[in-house]
Amino acid sequence: MKWLAPLALAVFAALPARAEIEIEEVTSPGGITAWLVEDHNIPFTALELRFQGGTSLDAPGKEGAVRLMAALLEEGAGERDAQAFAAATETIAADFDYDARNDAVSVSARFLTETRDEAVELLRASLMEPRFDEDAIARVRSQALSAIRSDLNDPGAIASREFARLAFGDHPYGRASDGTIESVGALTRDDLVAAHADALARDRVFVAAAGDITAEELGGLLDELLGGLPETGGARPGDVAVALPGGISVVEFATPQSVAVFGHEGLPRDDEDFFAAFVLNQILGGGGFESRLMQEVREKRGLTYGVYSYLAPKDHAALYMGRVASANDRIAEAIEVIRGEWARIARDGVTEAELEAARTYLTGAYPLRFDGNGPIARILVGMQMDGLPITYPQTRNDQLAAITLEDVNRVAAELLKPERLHFVVAGQPEGLETTPGQ
Amino acid sequence: MRRAALFLALALTFIARPALATENVTDFVLNNGMQVVVIEDHRAPLAVHMVWYRAGSADERPGASGAAHFLEHMMFRGTETRAPGEFSERVAANGGNDNAFTSYDYTAYFQRVAADRLGLMMEMEADRMANLLLRPELVETERGVILEERNQRVENEPGSLFREQTSAAQFLNHPYGAPIIGWRHEIEALSREDLNAYYTRHYAPNNAILIVAGDVTPDEVRRLAETHYGPIPANPAVTERARPQEPPQRAPRRVTMEDARVAQPYVTRSWLAPERDPGDQRQAAALVLLSELLGGGQTSVLTTALQYDNPVAVFTSAFYGATSLDRTRFGVVVVPAQGVGLAEAEAALDAEIARFLETGVDAEALERIKFGLKASRIYQQDNVQSVAQRYGRALTSGLALEDIAAWSGILDSITGEEIMAVARDVLVPERSVTGWLRAPEADKTANTEVMQ
């Protein structure tokens, strides 16, 4: 292993230091901006829309409204009922995908160049003129309730939901973003119309496109697609502190393997130490086989198939999260090892060799992410949501390369708080009990 | 040795201006019998390097289920000259990602790296093709990992346990009836010798396909492949695969599984069905279209009937494994609405399939589906790794490059009559397995209805 550091250094110098893409900012005549990477190799366009806000706009008692609304956008719009709309999109082989998460409603579309006009018109109708027909509401509501019932019996979903509840209490982040059987069952058409007006507005939309479309063509379709949006939408919630003490919460569920979701407060995306924390996490639990958590829990002890940690900066709070799953009689040991690694890296920091390996991996892998219209459009819209400059892909690797051992070890000592780490365990874990006082 | 540039032209007949999706594919064979396929895509400075073995879980010795997948894990645990974990470590140190996957008919290993790192990937992949070292203590640690993988994928998911049961009911004799990951008791009992026997028998250049996709040229790939894979001798013991075949199914089979964790009961039905064969893909193509017609989207036959016209279901779908070495399955799923029993859902499914067999194919729907399949091929060009996987799956399922090239055209040429002929042939009760998954105590009335 001694050879690794010099090899990594040599490799770092030779890899492309930045992503070789050209991003244009396009502004429509009506004043809507979008980021674009033109690539005419394949005759289709990937288009990504994000509406900041998402399920955290749900009013108390109306949990699940934004999510159900988003699912209904393609279930009838303008002149077309649900099946007519589906037939029209199938006829031109356009794909539209609508989703809602805590901080955003996302719309992903791809369409062939030769049917672009028809696709844009269908997409516009779904965003501006969703019908919310009663029969469509009943059908999609029954699907949503089915999914909620299934999640109530899924240990991973149980643990995630309980973690959010404990961390955020009454803040929208603490409530079920899919809604509950009761809340979704009680939603009315008026609630969905209100959720639509709250969630989809000009002041919160971000747009990115990649593929077989010119700046002029994209500028022309932006006004048609989004010009009819209301100027502003519903009020967003305020920031919330993570209210979770360290410890363990067990949620009893009869299944052979326990799932543990763990974490404590994290770092906001715009924190000046975010890059150092990102490199730190790559070393601690960033997903590769080389991370300390994978080495200690899986490779050395065979306690799990997968363990990872990640920074989860949300718009109104920041978490540092992780997840592991082990058989009921082994999960206690897995948790003990994770706690130990959390403490060790906070106390002793990382080594120069680990830092070099992480930096080399992260900088080398970055340009490889831009490997198609779909991935590029998603990266571009994500950059805008994070408030990053359009030049970010040119500077990102330099910023990463500038991170020093002192930076990472200072952030490790500040950010990682083993005594604050809380594990929510769903299953029948042997030798684990809920920490008293929770 | 053969070298041919293969251009797949997909003419879109449905609209005025035809779009073309082209795949720039070159193939050749090394002297030791290793087949090489190069798929060029120069949009990003990336290469996907894959080695596919014509060996999967269906090639295991009886009683040793899970050996192919266990061995796949051990391939990351070191060779005679490389330390455990070193493979992935070096991939990561070069900014790349790597992984592997096992199925019934193949085991495949891949890395995504900067195109100029291709030589190192080949050097390391060739090393573990020939020089794997199975360290006994690591076999034991890895067994723990694999049992946790099985816990995560199967034991914790009643739907997965149910699929194992229906699949075992469908295949009485063929190894497709055993799960890819293996039965738990057999994973627990697999020995180092079992893994070594599988490795020795199947891991050889003349049983492997190298697929390199991305920002590479055929000349460069050939030069590197001859350097790194060329020296490995062919294994004369590699023979044509011949698994125990399924006898004719003569009686409908039923599986009812109860699990307290089931929140949403559902019913499945699957039938033994023909697969794509070299030079003979029309029936399989017709079945692909049939699965789209029956359950492929919001306007499909089952969805329209069971979710819109008479809404007894919250979800309906159809599935078909066209690319398979041996006989495969065609199936449908109905997830009943709240308050609708499994018997009622099954009866509605029966009625709709019977009606479809009477009325035949809607010509407009068929045109939409064919157009959608052509478009999906264009969209797939955006992801060079998924193009590479399509080639790998087909080549390890006994198909030739000519069959892959012909497939789109065959799909486009299938008539409604051919679809109905294969539907009448395949969708017969005596070749079916009907499965019910539910929680205990639910659906008692439905149960008595079907037992009448």
CA-nearest residue of chain B to A139? B314
A142 touches chain B (CB under 8 A): yes
- What are the tens digits of pLDDT across the range B34-55? 999 999 999 999 999 999 999 9
What's the CA gap between A356 and A375, in Å, rounded? 27
CA angle A423-A424-A426, nearest 5°?
135
What's the CA gap between B367 and A73, in Å, rounded? 26
Give the pairing type, strands A247-252 and A422-427: parallel
What's the CA gap between B331 and B432, in Å, rounded? 9
A18 touches chain B (CB under 8 A): no
Q: Calculate what percentage of chain A has a pLDDT beyond 90.
A: 94
Between B447 and A386, the more confident residue is A386
pTM of the model: 0.93
Instruction: Identify the CA nearest to B115 among candidates A396, A5, A353, A20.
Output: A20
Question: Residue B441 has what pLDDT?
Answer: 79
Average confidence (pLDDT) over A409-419: 97
CA-nearest residue of chain B to A12? B94
Q: Which of A116, A259, A299, A330 to mutate to test the interface with B (most CBs of B within 10 A)?
A: A299
- What are the tens digits of pLDDT across the range B192-217? 999 999 999 999 999 999 999 999 99
| Contact flag A4-B151 (C-beta cutoff 8 Å) | no
Strand partners, B354: none
Per-residue DSSP letters for B275-290?
--BTTB-HHHHHHHHH
Question: Residue A287 has what pLDDT?
Answer: 73
Question: What does the mean pLDDT of chain B come to?
Answer: 93
Instruction: Identify the CA nearest to A38 among candidates A206, A218, A207, A212.
Output: A212
Between A391 and B7, the more confident residue is A391
Identify the band that residue A438 occupies on the pLDDT scale cut at 50, 70 and 90: low
Point out the residue among A115, A153, A303 whose CB comes nearest to the CB of B144: A303
A6 touches chain B (CB under 8 A): no
Q: Are B124 and B82 in contact (CB under 8 A)?
A: yes
Give the pairing type, strands A33-38 and A24-27: antiparallel
pLDDT at B250 over 70: yes
Q: Which of B15, B17, B94 to mutate to test the interface with A (most CBs of A within 10 A)?
A: B94
pLDDT at A9 over 60: no
| Contact flag B92-A87 (C-beta cutoff 8 Å) | no
pLDDT at A46 over 80: yes
Contacts with A153 from chain B: Cβ below 8 Å:
261-263
Q: Calculate what percentage of chain A has a pLDDT beyond 70.
A: 95
Question: Residue A243 has what pLDDT?
Answer: 81
Point out the residue among A11, A93, A114 whose CB comes nearest to the CB of B17: A114
Identify the band that residue B447 occupies on the pLDDT scale cut at 50, 70 and 90: very low
Question: Residue B17 has what pLDDT?
Answer: 31
CA-nearest residue of chain B to A45? B379
A130 touches chain B (CB under 8 A): no
- What are the tens digits of pLDDT across the range A91-103? 999 999 999 999 9
Contacts with B297 from chain A: Cβ below 8 Å:
86, 90
Point out the residue among B46, B263, B375 whose CB comes nearest to the CB of A149: B263
Minimum distance, in Å, between the CA of residue A46 and any CA atom of chain B:
10
Question: Residue B416 has what pLDDT?
Answer: 98
Question: What does the mean pLDDT of chain A come to?
Answer: 94
- What are the tens digits of pLDDT across the range B112-154? 999 999 999 999 999 999 999 999 999 999 999 999 999 999 9
Chain CA centroid to CA B150, Å? 18
| Contact flag B19-A114 (C-beta cutoff 8 Å) | yes
| Contact flag A143-B379 (C-beta cutoff 8 Å) | no
Question: Residue A21 has what pLDDT?
Answer: 85
Contacts with A39 from chain B: Cβ below 8 Å:
43
Minimum distance, in Å, between the CA of residue A428 and any CA atom of chain B:
12
Question: Residue B22 has what pLDDT?
Answer: 66
3-state helix, strand, coil in chain B (%, to 5): 45, 20, 35
What's the CA gap between B332 and B316, in Å, rounded? 7
pLDDT at B9 over 50: no
Average confidence (pLDDT) over B12-27: 54
Q: Which of B142, B314, B368, B385 to mutate to test the interface with A (most CBs of A within 10 A)?
A: B314
Contacts with B375 from chain A: Cβ below 8 Å:
93, 112
| Contact flag B156-A256 (C-beta cutoff 8 Å) | yes
Question: Residue A437 has what pLDDT?
Answer: 74
Identify the band that residue B228 occupies on the pLDDT scale cut at 50, 70 and 90: very high
pLDDT at B80 over 80: yes
Provide the annotated active-site residues of B. Answer: 72
